[in-house]
Structures are given as structure tokens and as C-alpha cells.
Amino acid sequence: MIKIEHLVKTYGNFTAVDDISFEVGAGEIVGFLGPNGAGKSTTMNMLTGYLSSTAGSIEIDGIDILAKPLEAKKRIGYLPEQPPLYFDMTVKEYLDFAYDLKGCRLDRKKHIDEICEVVKIKDVYHKLIGHLSKGYKQRVGIAQVLIGNPKVIIFDEPTIGLDPKQIIEIRNLIRNLGRDHTVILSTHILQEVQAVCDRIIIINKGQIVADEKTENITRAVETSRRFSAKICGPQREVLAMLREKPGIVYAEPLAERDGDAFTYMIESDVGIDIRKTLFYTLAERGWPLIGLESLGMSLEDIFITIVDAQGQKKNDKAKNSRVKRGADAERDVAARIMEKTAQSQKSAAKSIFDRRDD
């Protein structure tokens, strides 16, 4: 349905999008993921014909967007990061305008009614958009996207600024849309992609760094051998014991202290469940184990690792300096990730709001 080949966009000397190619099939929901400034929005804007590309081609449903922009645009519904709403119109006027603007040929009343039903804005139909809450505004934006029943729907950060209940509703809505539309969801919120998308494309510094099915990435998340353990006892001795214990290949204290308890990151050997033996050993020594958590790599970690690794590679090339390689380097990354995970888990509930805002 969407076919992007060797897409490049440069602004002067700055390359915003650097040779991106991918394809999206019909009915697929693809998460387009990347840190701020990675080139997500630029790619979205080129995909929708808002910006033109420096090189490469974009085909929507077999139609080149530069050759036949009007035909291609008819097949796309686009919700920019900031929904394009006219605050001085009522919802009805706005949707009527969108209907006319897109030159829609469907039965006006029935079509708009159906859309209002789907995005649940019937009760505000005659209100001024400027008076609506953020959640409703977002939905009106989505309603506008759906007008004309486009084959391809593109959302740029659709859940920004919504409360958790609204986020869930919008995600469900997007998933439902995926049944008969091709959806591209651009975001930097990882849970969102995990919850909604079939496939994830990760982009950083204008290049695709990963293009995987969500299941594959989730599987990597579940098969972890890493734990964080909270143990009461003298830090140095506990650490020495952990490092000597068979079955543990790696142990590192984390900068976290709770009374006389310290937190450690432990990595077990492949195929060994060290949790029970760890418990008994600690009991013998008289160091109570007060917390043990499996640290599966969250999508966020994978994301950071991939993005970091890419940055590392580039640095290597540029500086040609010696960088720690192999197991040591990997563990450094792991330790950093664990620390970050520990922080993020601490404020798990809060972080949903934080990420939403940043």
C-alpha cells in the first residue's frame, strides 16, 4: 500500500532523512519510532505530500505522490502532531468543510454520522471546537482524518496531551481502524507501539535502525536473564559473594540504597534459574533478600540500545578510537540500561504521564 524507496530529504547541509526504504502492506499497523529530531515528522510530511523529497520515491497505492499529488492525497488521511482545527467552527461545520475540501463523494450525512459514531463525538457535534477539551479536540482531528475513507491513515503522536483513559480509548480506536485501513503511527512512546502496532520501524538520525515485527521484539523482552535484587547486608561482601557464586556471570551494584539494603544487578548463566539457590545462599549468610525482580528488556531499553549502538558505530567510524568491545562493552550498556529501568520502574505509573508530556 505504501512503498518508500531511497527517500532522502536535505535542508542545506543537514540531512534530515537519509536514504530510507520500506514497504507497508494493506491492513498493517506500523509504528514509526524514534527520538525527537530523528526525522519522523519529516518522513510523515513527505509521505503526505506536505513536503517534497530531495531524492527517492513514495508510492501510495501504486500512485507516485510527486507525479500525481492530488490522486495520492485522496488516499491519505493525516493527523499532524497538532490537529489542524479551526477553533471558531463547530464540529459540524468543521467536518462539513473537511468533507468538501476532500471532495468526498459518499453520502454526506450518513458518512459523517458514522464517523462521529466511531470516534464518539456525537454529543459535541454542535459545539464550537475552541470550547472542547483536549481529548475531544483530538477526536475531532481523527474524525477529520477518517472523512473520505482513506486507505492510508497517518497519525503523528496522536495521544500527546491526553489523560490515561483517553489514551487507551484512542489506542483502541487506532487498532480498530487497522482492520480496514493501513495505519502508520509515529510516536516516541514505546508502550503505545507495543500496544497497537504489528510492526515497528525504528528511525534515528534519519536512518532506519530496526524494522521488526512487534512479536519478535517482545520476545526479546521476555527472554531475559537479568534480575535486580535488593539485599540487606554489607555491600562489598554481598557483591563478592554474588560474583563468586556459580551460575552468576555478572553482578554489579546499582546506585540505589534503602536503609541497609542495596540493589544489585545480576545476570545469570544461560539456562540456569538462579533465583532459588540465590535465596538459600543469602539465607545461610544471614543477608535477607527483600526484593527480586526480573528485568526483561523493555522496548525502551531495546530502543536505547539500538540507538546508542548506532551512535557508537558512527563514533567509531569518525574517531577511529578504541572502544571497549565484546562482553565488557555489552555489560556496560546493560548496566546503564538496568539503572535506567530501575528508575523508570520506580515511577512506572508516573512515567506514563511524563512521557506523554515530553
Partner 1 sequence: MLAIYLKELRSYFINAIGYVYIGIFLAISALLFCYTTLISNTYSTSNYFSMLILVLVVLIPLLTMKLFAEEKKLRTEQMLLTAPVSITSMVLGKYFAAFTMYAASIIISCINFLPLYAVAAMERSEAGQQANYIHIGPSDAQILGSLVGILFIGAVFIAVGMFISTLTENQLAAAVITIATLVAMLAPASINNEAIISSYAVRFVIDWFNVLSRFANFSAGKFDFAAIFYYISLCSVFVFATVRVYDKRRWG
Residues that bind partner 1 (CB under 8 A): 9, 11, 48-52, 69-71, 73-74, 76, 78, 80, 82, 84-89, 93, 97-98, 100-103, 144
Q: Which among 200, 202, 146 is positioned nearest to 170, based on CA atoms? A: 146
* Residue 258 C-beta: closest distance to partner 1, Å: 47
Would the CA dihedral through 58, 63, 64, 66 be positive or negative? negative
**C-alpha neighbours within 13 Å on the C-beta side of residue 36:** 4
Residue 263 half-sphere exposure toward CB, CA atoms < 13 A: 20
Q: How far apart are CA 77 and CA 176, in angstroms?
A: 15
Whether the Cβ atoms of residue 129 and residue 90 lie closer than 8 Å to each other:
yes
For partner 1, the closer of residues 153 and 254 by Cβ is 153
Output the smallest distance, CB 44 to partner 1, in A: 10
β-strands 226-232, 207-213 pairing: unpaired
Q: CA 181, CA 164: separation in Å to the nearest integer?
A: 25
Helices (H) and strands (E) in the chain, counts: 13, 14
Please tell me the distance from the alpha carbon of residue 21 to that of residue 7, in angstroms, as a whole number: 6
- Of the pair 79, 229, the CB lying nearest partner 1 is at 79
Residue type, 169: E
Minimum CB distance to partner 1 smaller for 90 or for 187:
90
Measured from the CB atom, the residue of 86 and 280 that comes closer to partner 1 is 86
| The 3-state secondary structure of 73-129, one letter per residue | HHCEEEECCCCCCCCCCEHHHHHHHHHHHCCCCCCHHHHHHHHHHHHCCHHHCCCEH
**Distance, CA of 53 to CA of 17 (rounded, Å):** 9
Q: What's the min distance (Å) between Cβ of 181 and partner 1?
A: 16
Q: What's the closest the beta carbon of residue 79 comes to partner 1, in angstroms? A: 9
**Minimum distance, C-beta of residue 197 to partner 1, in the bound complex (Å):** 22
**Which one, 22 or 97, has the nearer CB to partner 1?**
97
Q: Which is nearer to partner 1, 103 or 271 (CB)?
A: 103
Pick 186 or 341: Cβ nearer partner 1: 186
Record the cell numbers describing residue 252, joined without a space: 554489579
Minimum Å distance from CB 255 to partner 1? 43
95-98 — which CB contacts under 8 Å span 24+ positions? 95/140, 95/143, 95/144, 95/147, 98/144, 98/147
Distance CA 177, CA 193 (A): 15
Tracing cell 548496566 back to the chain, one arrives at 335
Q: Which is nearer to partner 1, 54 or 305 (CB)?
A: 54
Residue 50 beta carbon to partner 1: minimum distance, rounded to whole angstroms: 5
Work out how close the CB of 36 gets to partner 1 at its nearest, in angstroms, rounded to a whole number: 17
Nearest residue (CB) to partner 1, 77 versus 135: 77
Query: How many Å apart are CA 325 and CA 14, to the nearest integer?
Result: 31
Q: What's the closest the beta carbon of residue 35 comes to partner 1, in angstroms?
A: 21
